[in-house]
Amino acid sequence: MLDKKKSDCQKLNIKAKYRELISEQDLKRRIKELGEEISRDYESKCPILIGVLNGAFIFMADLIRELTIDCEVDFVKISSYGNKKVSSGNIKLIKDFDCDVDGRHVLVVEDIADSGRSIRFLEEMFSESKPKSLKFVSLLLKEGGAVVDFELDYVGFRIENEFVIGYGLDYAQKLRNLSSIQVLD
């Protein structure tokens, strides 16, 4: 089994060329700032942070450690990329959230926003559950990639329209473990 996994990584060309876009230090600094801002905005509230799997899990873990408020955590999993570098445009719900969001403050945590389709899909999905408030935080906002109108309440970094990996972001489920954001060439 171990040999098969190793050969799968080789088939993907795991040693693909990539270059650093956002350093580990810059990620830590900006996430601390986001944590402070969110803590101020949600003071005396207990929001539910709902991470979008798989990509947002590292960002969300670091973000909640920077919060100074009480919060709850849940996850939802959607997919639109599969093993490609370009979104199919079709959003599929893989795992629904488990918590009751009716009358609660909900903050959806995304790794990256580009076309806006995922944000719109999640906005519609959560709105049906009647949260008291619904806001979105995304570590990255890819400039110039929107195909639908969408709004983010908190943005870590604005980036060019390039395919990025690392810090939870993947290519065919690989390279999530890089400690910084890299551009895959």
Where are the strands (E) in 80-184, listed by range? 92-95, 105-113, 133-142, 154-159, 164-165, 181-184
- What's the half-sphere exposure (Cβ side, CA atoms, 13 Å) at 65? 9
Q: Which of 120, 118, 160, 117 is nearest to 140 (CA)?
A: 160
* Gap between the Cα atoms of 26 and 148, Å rounded: 29
Catalytic pick from 114, 149, 153, 185? 114
Per the annotation, the verdict on 100 as an active-site residue is: no
**Residues forming the active site:** 114
